[in-house]
Chain A
Amino acid sequence: MGKITVHEKALAHLSRGLYRSPASAIRELISNAWDANARIVRVDTNYPHFMRIAIQDNGDGFTREDFAQLMEGGVGNSQKRPRDLQLMKGRPVIGRLGIGMLGIAQICGAFTVTSTPRSGDGFKARVHLYDLIKERLDRDDAELVHDTEGGIEVDVGEYEFLPDYVPSSRPGTSVVADDVHPTFIRSFKESVNHEQFKEPPIEWRKALGVVGKVHSINELGDYWRLLWELAAACPIPYLAKDALPQRVVEEEHEQLLQYDFQLIVDGMTLAKPVYLKGHHGGYTVRRLGPYRQTIYGKDLRFHGYIVVQEGEQLRPDELRGVLIRIKNVAIGYYDPSLLDYRYNQGPRSRWLTSEIFVEEGLEDALNVDRDSFNRFHPHFREIQAHFHRVLQDEIFPDVYKNIRVRSTARREEKSVTRRSHLSNVISEGVDKRVKIRSDDGVADARIDVHSTSMEVTVPSATTLKVKKANQELAQALLTIFELALQQRGRDAQRETFKRILLDLLAKW
């Protein structure tokens, strides 16, 4: 039987065009830093000019030999990572494909890597990725595509070690991308020059305050989107353990703090961008799991939460939906389709945010971009089914119940206010103290006049055959009409009716 193979050219294409946003490409380098036991990763974008992007970590670094092997041994060769790799403080290993470093090719054509390892020789190397690679691969450019004994090899670029390497006093790695594509620079510059742009405060908590005021990150532009996406995607703590109601993320927050991993972008120490607190309508909260299932012989374990901000759209809208994290790294961003939930919930779906933390399994469902899933993978389907069950059986019934409760309360509050308003306008109209009563079964308004006061009985709502929403208005109109009839002469009746009616409607 013949074997089916994937052509190297197809893989070479992956070195460009793998990620859907700059944040996704940068996230891969941040993941590398995590796996290198870094405590701090600094991303510098050269804001507000964006002429270069630098990612620097204080992790283990890697040697000149490791780097040469990575470059020449085939990018994406997962064999380079020892299977028994143990990370500091119990961190899970999150790197998988090893394409991370070249992923930055999406936004730049050349970069410099400098690394000082804990032991062994450090290096400084310049990586230059070939231009127009897709076109050249399509025409089998001999400079790129070679036949070798081991099969076809495809070169995607060149690297050289630079002589001016100076070992740092501390281990770590830096990647400085200076050949940033002009289109990227222009797009980011335009985003910060836009009239709606707001300069991000260095303090991330304040920056989230800015984000929390807009409907969508789009209003703030590409630079804010980069910050927000990095904050959402990377394995960094929340702003606080009570960043979400009922402390549903307390455990994750504590765990992330324990991992001791900081992400600093342009001087801002980022934290997860979700912070829901103090909403007047309250929140509906459900914890998901912990859930465990074995599917096709492979374990799937996950837990999470669903939070609904009752009666008000989440801000920004990008928080809406569900975000799946594998080993604390987000796969894509919040999915507003709620994993393809079949029932249209209208505006209510904009109130809901959720995170699912997958501890085991699902990795095989990852697409090569690490930003999306094969939605027909059994593990994905299991999570989807469980999530939808909770939505349908627990979340939305509760949400609807809460809507009814809120509506009733609002109606009652409104009714009291309107009754008081009716009393005031009548009182002013007749210059007497007025007491409003309602008796069941009374079909017409009744007016009992005393020397200094008046008792007004409004018609019972049950006797009025009008829409429920109009019942109170009908009660008020009939009462005013009855009151006007107390006057002598048609002119006086008309005048009294008109005056009280207009006063009533002025604040109805």
Chain B
Amino acid sequence: MVTDGTFSYETCLLKHHVRTTIWLPFARERLATIRSATRRATESRRLRYFTFCAVGAIDVLMLDIAQVVRRSNNGRFDTVYFFDRSEEYALETQRRIPGAVGFVGDFVSTVLLGDPEEDFLADTATPLSAPMLQPDEHAVRDAQRRRENKRNFVQSFPFDVLNLDLEELLFKDHDEYPGRLLNALRRVFRWQQRPLRVATGRIETLEEFTLFFTTQVGPLNLSDEYREKLEGPLRANMSRDNALRDILVERAGSDDLEALRRECLELFFRIALPKVLAATLLENDWYVVPDPGVVIYEFERDSTSGPYTMLHLGMHIRRKVPPADRRGPGEDSPIAIDAYTQVVRQIFRGNAEHVTLETIDTERLKADLQTVFARRRKYFPDDETPEIP
């Protein structure tokens, strides 16, 4: 029996355009960087990929076809890790990409579970040890499993490509600023600094990774209080870098941020979203590589409550030099600060590519999706191939 876990946008050509024009080339570049770090191809490790791939695992299979993600000698996608809300969907996903490692639960809740200090104990503490005093009851076991799930997740870091295709809002009105998702991202970016044990047993430090982030523009009914809090860091950027004022005037006709957030919320979000992400990376000892900076594709999607805009962000991330543990108190990395300034200017300037069915090569994308479906049937012959409209 196959559960009906496939997402409707599995056949969405706009989404697949993003996969083929942002995700694939960025991931290829990441793989090339990994390979260039070793003298011989045989010494090179495989790319570690984290994704919210959903049941269809289209992105993983696309990368598999492109030989960016490689299976182990035993035929397993054991460098692919994914997250899903439901056990059933995670199961279906694993059947389509055998050997991939799945995590089940709410991503943000899992990441934020427990004290951040506990994350440092991930390699030593064992939540599964039989407790001495608590009874063998569901609640006790459940708490043990949740902590273990979190521990497994922390231990799986770092990744060469983090595909946070969450498709949810980065800012939520009911959240306390900066919000649970942003707090979760902070932790995730810290875990990216965990040592990487490669197959040979050698321990590496990840100096670079690639980040994909998907979010909706909005919410348009975000409270004034929250908007004000978002405005603060943008204002700080503008006071540090005068060029931003001119850029904003050129783009929005005014450098009045307050007016922008009150009167042109969509544009305000288009600037605030990537900027917040870049700032969060910076505060966690990473920075966005200015070339190519934050690549943004946006397209509109219909829903019962009206159309909304999706933003797909892609960027290469590099660790600050020197890293935090080799810098003095209050000292920052000049290279990172310079890169951040350039990236913020790019964000203010706005370089998003607006994708519509008219601007993409639908026939090529359909053919590409068929190749992906064929690959999926190879691993999972029971797969019910969807029809592309």
Q: Which residues of A contact B (CB under 8 A)?
A: 40, 42, 44, 46, 48-49, 51-52, 54, 56-58, 61, 109-110, 112, 114, 116, 128, 131-132, 166, 168-174, 176, 178-183, 185-186, 189, 199-203, 206, 266-267
Q: Which residue of A lies closest to B139 (CB)?
A: A131
Kindly provide the distance from the CB of B194 to the nearest chain A CB, expressed in whole angstroms. Answer: 17
In the bound complex, what is the Cα–Cα distance between A168 and B2 (angstroms)?
6
Q: Is there a chain A Cβ closer than 8 Å to B99's Cβ?
A: yes
Nearest CB on B from A84, distance (A) = 26
Q: Are A51 and B76 in contact (CB under 8 A)?
A: no
* B72: interface (CB < 8 Å): yes
Interface segment out of the listed B18-26, B88-96, B250-258, B291-299? B88-96
| Distance from B73 Cβ to chain A, minimum over Cβ atoms (Å) | 8
B contact residues around A180 at 8 Å (CB): 145
Q: How far is the CA of A453 from the CA of B141 in the complex (A)?
A: 87
Are B91 and A176 in contact, with the CB atoms below 8 A?
yes
* Nearest CB of B to A115, in Å: 8
Given contacts A116-B1, A169-B2, contact A199 B141 (CB under 8 A): no
* Chain B residues whose C-beta falls within 8 Å of the C-beta of A181 in the assembled complex: 141
The residues of A that contact B78 with a CB separation of less than 8 Å are 199
Beyond contacts A61-B1, A182-B141, A267-B75: 19 other A-B pairs, Cβ-Cβ < 8 A, are: A51-B148, A54-B87, A58-B1, A131-B135, A131-B136, A132-B137, A166-B4, A169-B384, A170-B1, A174-B1, A179-B138, A179-B142, A181-B141, A182-B148, A185-B128, A186-B126, A267-B76, A267-B99, A267-B379
Determine whether B102 belongs to the interface, using a CB cutoff of 8 Å to chain A: yes
Docked-complex contact B130 and A267, CB < 8 angstroms:
no
User: In the complex the two chains form, what is the Cα distance from A181 to B142 in whole Å?
Assistant: 9
Structural contact, A182 and B144, CB atoms closer than 8 A = yes
Which residues of B are interface residues toward A (Cβ below 8 A)? 1-4, 72-76, 78, 87-88, 90-91, 94-95, 98-99, 101-104, 126-130, 135-138, 141-142, 144-145, 148-149, 152, 379, 382, 384
Complex partner residue of A168 from B4, B94, B98, B99, CB under 8 angstroms: B4
Contact A174 B137 (CB under 8 A): no
Return chain B residues, CB-CB under 8 Å to A170: 1-2
Q: Check B135 against A132 for contact (C-beta < 8 Å).
A: yes
Q: Is A202 a contact partner of B126 (Cβ separation < 8 A)?
A: no
| Nearest CB in chain A to that of B88: its residue | A176
- Given the known interface contacts A44-B94, A169-B2, A201-B74, the answer about A131 and B382 at a Cβ–Cβ threshold of 8 Å is no
Chain B residues with Cβ under 8 A from A109's Cβ?
138, 141
Beta-carbon contact of B87 and A202 below 8 Å: no
Which residues of chain B are within 8 angstroms of A199 by Cβ–Cβ distance? 72, 74, 76, 78
Pick the contact of A185: B87, B91, B98, B145 (CB < 8 A). Answer: B145
Q: Which residue of chain B lies nearest to A167 when distances are taken between CB atoms in the complex? A: B4
Q: Are B152 and A49 in contact (CB under 8 A)?
A: yes
Asked whether, in the complex, the Cβ of B3 is within 8 Å of the Cβ of A51, the reply is: no
Residues of B within 8 A of A54 (CB): 87, 91
CB-based closest 5 A-B pairs: A172-B1, A267-B98, A202-B75, A186-B128, A201-B74
A-B contact list, 23 entries, CB within 8 Å: A44-B91, A46-B102, A48-B101, A49-B101, A51-B145, A51-B148, A51-B149, A109-B138, A114-B1, A114-B88, A131-B138, A132-B136, A172-B1, A176-B87, A178-B104, A179-B142, A185-B128, A186-B128, A186-B129, A189-B128, A199-B76, A202-B76, A202-B98
The CA of A46 and the CA of B4, in the complex, are separated in Å by: 20
Cα distance A182–B147 when bound, in Å? Answer: 11
B residues near A174, Cβ cutoff 8 Å: 1, 3, 88
**CB closest chain-B residue, reference A59:** B1
Say yes or no: B144 contacts A57, CB within 8 Å.
no
By a CB distance below 8 angstroms, the chain B residues around A267 are 75-76, 94-95, 98-99, 379
| A250 smallest CB distance to B (angstroms) | 27
Which residue of A is nearest B103, CB measured? A49
Give the complex CA separation of A186 and B4 in angstroms: 32
Q: CA separation between A166 and B92, bound complex, in Å?
A: 15
- Report which residue of A42, A186, A267 has the largest number of chain B beta carbons within 10 angstroms of its beta carbon: A267
Q: Which residue of B lies closest to A203 (CB)?
A: B75
A22 to B357, CA, bound (A): 52
Residues of A with C-beta under 8 A to B141: 109, 179, 181-182
Chain A hits for B379, CB < 8 A: 267
- For the complex, give the distance between the alpha carbons of A58 and B2 in Å: 8
Which residues from chain B contact A203 at a C-beta distance below 8 Å?
75
Task: Tell me which residues across on chain A come within 8 A of B127, comparing CB atoms.
Answer: 182
Knowing A132-B135, A174-B3, A176-B91, the reply to whether A202 touches B145 (Cβ < 8 A) is: no
Query: Which residues of A have CB within 8 Å of B138?
Result: 109-110, 128, 131, 179
Contact indicator B95/A42 (Cβ below 8 Å): yes
Contact of A202 among B74, B91, B103, B129 (CB under 8 A): B74
B254–chain A nearest beta-carbon distance, Å: 49
Docked Cα-Cα span, A189 to B74, in Å, equals: 19
Decide: A166 and B3 in contact? CB cutoff 8 A: yes
Do B4 and A200 touch across chains, with their CB atoms under 8 A apart? Answer: no
In chain A, what residue has the closest Cβ to B156? Answer: A49
Contact partners of A58 in chain B: CB under 8 A: 1, 382
A52 — nearest CB in chain B belongs to which residue? B87
| B residues less than 8 Å from A40 (CB atoms) | 382
| Chain B: CB-nearest residue to A201 | B74
Q: In the assembly, what is the distance between CA of A132 and CA of B136, in Å?
A: 7
Residues of A within 8 A of B75 (CB): 201-203, 267
Please give the distance in Å from A466's CB to the nearest CB on chain B. Answer: 56
B18 to chain A, nearest CB (A): 28
Q: Which residues of A contact B74 (CB under 8 A)?
A: 199-202, 206
- Residues of A contacting B104 in the complex (Cβ-Cβ under 8 angstroms): 51-52, 178
Contact A266 B1 (CB under 8 A): no
The smallest beta-carbon distance between A298 and chain B, in angstroms, is 38
Q: Chain A residues near B145 (CB, 8 Å)?
A: 51, 179-180, 182, 185
Q: Does B87 lie within 8 Å of A56, measured CB to CB?
A: no
Which partner residue on chain B sits nearest A177 by CB separation?
A: B87
**Which of A51, A57, A182 contacts B130 (CB under 8 A)?**
A182
